[in-house]
Amino acid sequence: MTPLSHGLRRLATPAALLLGSLLLSQHIVRDSTMIASLPDPVGPTGWPRLMLGAVGLCALIWMAKELLALRRAAQRHTPIDEEYEGYAYGRAMIGLGLVVLYGIALPQLGFPIATAAFVALWCLIGGIRRPLTLALVTGIGCVVLLYVFVLLAQMPLNRGHGVFDGFTVALYRLLGIY
């Protein structure tokens, strides 16, 4: 990787922050005419505006620092740290994707089914391959979670939609929760 592309990549985060804060400062409230009618000098937008300004300012300083470092690095041809090898980035992406999927599935499938599926899949990508271990961990883990959070703590965790709702209610009746 050349020092320039590396430096540009490092500029991306502060640049994004600066752009983001500029964009957001135009959309603090739905209707800015309401703010203008208030007698209050600070008002509801004063504080967010201040914070956006602070984030923007910090991002500017950050960019300046990176540019300075970039110039120096270009002059001296100092080697740039390469990324750590052997780190399973691919697996991290799968993991993050799975976490997000879990969140999406939760209201649709209901807590019990979504959780069981998530735990099983997570263990699979984490390297647990023995079917028995997998089944036991998923089964016992989920039943314990259900007893603790649904029966004891009486949390209104999602039961899912349609047929999944029916399944969850039936499962709860089977487990003696309802």
Q: What is the dihedral sign for C-alpha 121, 126, 128, 133?
A: negative
7-46 residues near other proteins, rule: CB under 8 A:
13-14, 17, 21, 24, 27-30, 34-35, 37-38, 40-45
Contact indicator for 63, 14 with CB cutoff of 8 Å:
yes
46-105 residues near other proteins, rule: CB under 8 A:
47-48, 51-52, 54-55, 58-59, 61-62, 65, 68-69, 72, 80-81, 83-84, 86-89, 91-92, 95-96, 99-100, 102-103
Q: How far, in Å, CA of 8 to CA of 27, rounded? A: 28
> Which residue of 1, 2, 77, 174 would you call a contact of other proteins, by CB under 8 A?
174
Which DSSP state fits 81? Answer: P
> Which residue of 11, 15, 67, 120 would you call a contact of other proteins, by CB under 8 A?
120
CB of 171 to other proteins, least distance (A): 7
Name which of 11 and 122 has its Cβ closer to other proteins. Answer: 122
Burial of 111 (0-12, 13-18, 19+ CB in 10 A): buried
Q: How far, in Å, CA of 22 to CA of 15, rounded? A: 11
